[in-house]
Chains A and B, each alone.
Chain A
């Protein structure tokens, strides 16, 4: 699995092997019932793969994915019935209908997040089920085509069914692989791991989710159409929109593992034969017991491999030998990003906040804050806890809209933009608590940033590696964030931010939690940024470090700007000392003053 820089062909070999095994079974199986089990494995693997696109890669759990499965079955069969259209074309039509349906469902639903999205998806198959009942499609039998059976997807030879399912399955595998390896795949995994961080790194999470949802609807519809023809022979709302359809999909994915294209394949290849074997050996003689045993097998597998068999097996392999850098982009050309840019003209400020106010219920977090950031400087923002520093960053990079006032970047008003759009304009940020993408390697973390400038994974990878080199992390490119020290995590986040090729970076307490040496190392890295054409705005509440680092300080207290000026001056001001240490210290400071 761990590919070298072989580029396009990597990962194709296992797919070829699996499809080859499918072909072998197609032509060696004798009994019709065994062929049926093979087609069931392939159909449910396809359905699992399609669910995995939205719920695995993008992490948006859908409990209603059978809506598209059912649309595929119903649209195809109704087109045969009412228009005499061959299912070969009908299933493509149904895929198009499913994609449109996904767009219509996703548009309102993706504004909900987390569990609310999952709950909302429950409703759609339910609605469609009732609609089919209402329209009188309780039982739609597929008319038997005696004249041209192949034209109507009806084959006497079970091997033809196998090949049909194998084709659909193979196409879905290739689609999954393409998504995994494309920019979209990295973006989806990033937003699954940490939506806010992804958005801040230029990922338009709403559009990415929509893209994933629509891409996942098409194979589900095709699977539904094929299922109706080779498995059911009759379409009922219950059999395609019902809970059994989604339960089967979830079982296949949960057993195999979510978030990899091999998970659903392993899950289907294991669970469907087990289910059929239980039906054969137990079910016909002791009806009902097969369900109990199937449930027990499911529980046992989940106990052994709670994260799914694929990840479990991979974990065992990884444990056996040192982790290889998993991405295929270590080498290759790419623009060196560390070019120093001529500072923008001295007059116009790079970033400007004008009268920004932001209140949360009862709390005025920011109150009429105005300031400007000049190109090439390091501006420090200090203030005690609760002064509104992080809220200010959230307004600057678009996480929060200001109640009043505006933010302008290079003369453009940016206060209504999504964080991803702000990022694409050249403003990067890091977070107070590091927001890594834990299941992506260090290099992949940085690549998410790199995709802002390069759509090609190879180029984005080169850009990411260059950023890692700048922060001295290149040697850890293949590691997972979980194995990094606090300093390395901070540096990784900085590298990820630099990979977006920003003109301005917003660093939220980059020194927090670092040892003394760590602070020195981090300060050295930040100091080098202006020379490379990157302006820095940095939040800290430890004053002494920032005094050494910043060209200029801005002091916030209770959401108001208290002071602004050169570090040495600002720290002497009584209002700053008061804000930080209280009036008692202020009196002492005045007492000591010569």
Chain B
């Protein structure tokens, strides 16, 4: 008799606690922004698997907003303050689209930013297009700007162009170091990010540059043993390894083996995952030393003050693409609002579409230092950046005129 009653009491207590908690949150609605503010929506994964990336974006956006408001807000709107309204995209397309729908229909939003993962961005920009709110994204997928949308602006070089330009930059880098790339290896897993990186190389680009593909090793994570993979690389002696093992344990294995075998072959990855503070924490300074990756944005020459400010306010060890690009996006919206002299999303969209800035925080963050979008919404001359780990920190090494460090090119056998 006793235990059953106790169970009933506990059950009731749990129910009451949950109901109470629900009510508690109901009666405290979020503070509404003042009518003359300019609201930017940030729809990004703030919880779940990709929460870290969303948090970095939020840090970048907040820093830009603070800078803008500190220097008097949007002057063309009588010094209107900029306000960030974030919505959690969670870890599914359904949640991301819901978040966008929620924030775009419930509040007066002038522009939006997000949503990191290409599939999220594809869904979210559909909502933005229907609601006629301009949307800025750093996602790479070509398909985002292949749908003829008028309200989507893709600031990163699209994946297709990125592969071409990154290979050019890489060959140039090799040439500057007085070596030539004749043989290449592809080593990585079969996750979506890796597949998109390898596919153009394997199918077209390497052949066009006269580079022979000598190793093509793909696995489904987790990798059981990296030895045979690395042995193959050693026996064929390629001049470059295109590398994408998105699961950290796999990366550790492969890099450890290459070190063990004493291979001095440059390693080239793709994406920001290889450049995160978590990466160096997990792999260690020595393992990542010299490893390169291509991204859409990374601190450039002349941004030292910005990076320092970022580090001071967030406690992050360095600044990467997600924070930097979102910082630039907020500034782009500010520039557009100054030109549109309006909070109206349609007017801001037109201003972004015709924007041409080559000075100020936004322009100086993105290669080639000038911001214009074409009729599809792709940034003109958007150029990827090659970043290399040196002494436990990732530095821009190409294009040369924006580099913060000289590349270190492992050479000799």
Binds B, one of A193-201, A290-298, A359-367: A290-298
Contact partners of A290 in chain B: CB under 8 A = 47, 88
Within 8 A of A (CB), among B83-118: 85-88, 90-95, 97-99, 101-103, 105-106, 118
- A131-172 vs B, Cβ < 8 Å mask (1 yes, 0 no): 001101011010110100000000010000000000000000
For A288, give its contact among B21, B30, B51, B102 (CB under 8 Å): B51
- A31-58 vs B, Cβ < 8 Å mask (1 yes, 0 no): 1110010001000000000000000000
Take A143-B147, A293-B18 as given contacts and tell me if A32 and B105 are in contact as well, using a CB distance cutoff of 8 Å. yes
Within 8 A of B (CB), among A280-322: 280-285, 287-288, 290-291, 293, 296-297, 299-300, 303-304
Separation of A281 and B88 alpha carbons in the complex (Å): 11
Contact partners of B119 in chain A: CB under 8 A = 138-139, 234, 236, 238-239
Which B residue's beta carbon lies closest to that of A231? Answer: B94
Separation of A136 and B192 alpha carbons in the complex (Å): 9
Take A139-B119, A293-B21 as given contacts and tell me if A279 and B98 are in contact as well, using a CB distance cutoff of 8 Å. yes
A239–B18 CB distance below 8 A = no
Separation of A282 and B382 alpha carbons in the complex (Å): 37
A239–B94 CB distance below 8 A = yes
Contact partners of A134 in chain B: CB under 8 A = 190
Q: Is A244 an interface residue (CB 8 A)?
A: yes
Contact partners of A454 in chain B: CB under 8 A = none
A144–B129 CB distance below 8 A = yes
Q: Is A119 an interface residue (CB 8 A)?
A: no
Contact partners of B102 in chain A: CB under 8 A = 33, 276, 279-280, 284
Separation of A283 and B238 alpha carbons in the complex (Å): 49
B25–A281 CB distance below 8 A = yes
Q: Which of B21, B86, B98, B143 has the most CB of A within 10 A?
A: B98
Q: Is B149 an interface residue (CB 8 A)?
A: yes
Which A residue's beta carbon lies closest to that of B31? Answer: A285
Separation of A40 and B220 alpha carbons in the complex (Å): 33
Which A residue's beta carbon lies closest to that of B193? Answer: A138
Separation of A146 and B129 alpha carbons in the complex (Å): 12
Which B residue's beta carbon lies closest to that of A242? Answer: B92
Interface size range on A against B:
35 or more
B192–A133 CB distance below 8 A = yes
Nearest-neighbour CB distance to chain A for B116, whole angstroms, equals 13
Take A32-B105, A133-B195, A287-B47 as given contacts and tell me if A141 and B90 are in contact as well, using a CB distance cutoff of 8 Å. no
- B105-137 vs A, Cβ < 8 Å mask (1 yes, 0 no): 110000000000011001100110111000000
B93–A232 CB distance below 8 A = yes
Q: Is A233 an interface residue (CB 8 A)?
A: yes
Separation of A285 and B26 alpha carbons in the complex (Å): 13
B15–A300 CB distance below 8 A = yes
Which A residue's beta carbon lies closest to that of B43? Answer: A284
Nearest-neighbour CB distance to chain B for A302, whole angstroms, equals 10
Chain B residue total in the interface (Cβ 8 A): 56
Contact partners of B273 in chain A: CB under 8 A = none
For B46, give its contact among A130, A144, A244, A287 (CB under 8 Å): A287
B147–A144 CB distance below 8 A = yes
- B187-204 vs A, Cβ < 8 Å mask (1 yes, 0 no): 000101001100100000
Q: Which of A139, A244, A282, A297 has the most CB of B within 10 A?
A: A139
Take A139-B122, A281-B25, A284-B86 as given contacts and tell me if A236 and B93 are in contact as well, using a CB distance cutoff of 8 Å. yes
Contact partners of B25 in chain A: CB under 8 A = 278, 281-282
Take A133-B192, A232-B93, A290-B88 as given contacts and tell me if A296 and B47 are in contact as well, using a CB distance cutoff of 8 Å. no
Q: Is B224 an interface residue (CB 8 A)?
A: no
Which B residue's beta carbon lies closest to that of A37? Answer: B98
Q: Which of B85, B92, B190 has the most CB of A within 10 A?
A: B92
For A139, give its contact among B17, B95, B118, B190 (CB under 8 Å): B118
Nearest-neighbour CB distance to chain B for A291, whole angstroms, equals 6
Within 8 A of A (CB), among B124-170: 126-127, 129-131, 141, 143-144, 146-149
Contact partners of A231 in chain B: CB under 8 A = 94, 97
Contact partners of B51 in chain A: CB under 8 A = 287-288
For B18, give its contact among A234, A288, A300 (CB under 8 Å): A300
Query: Other than the known A32-B101, A144-B149, A283-B47, what 19 A-B pairs have Cβ atoms closer than 8 Å?
Result: A134-B190, A136-B195, A138-B192, A139-B118, A141-B143, A232-B93, A233-B127, A234-B93, A234-B122, A239-B94, A276-B102, A284-B46, A284-B85, A284-B88, A284-B99, A284-B103, A288-B46, A288-B48, A300-B14
**16 A-B residue pairs with CB within 8 Å:** A32-B101, A139-B118, A141-B122, A144-B147, A232-B93, A234-B93, A234-B126, A236-B119, A238-B93, A276-B102, A284-B85, A284-B102, A290-B47, A291-B47, A296-B14, A303-B14
B residues with CB within 8 A of A = 11, 14-15, 17-18, 21-22, 25-26, 29-30, 46-48, 51, 54, 85-88, 90-95, 97-99, 101-103, 105-106, 118-119, 122-123, 126-127, 129-131, 141, 143-144, 146-149, 190, 192, 195-196, 199, 220
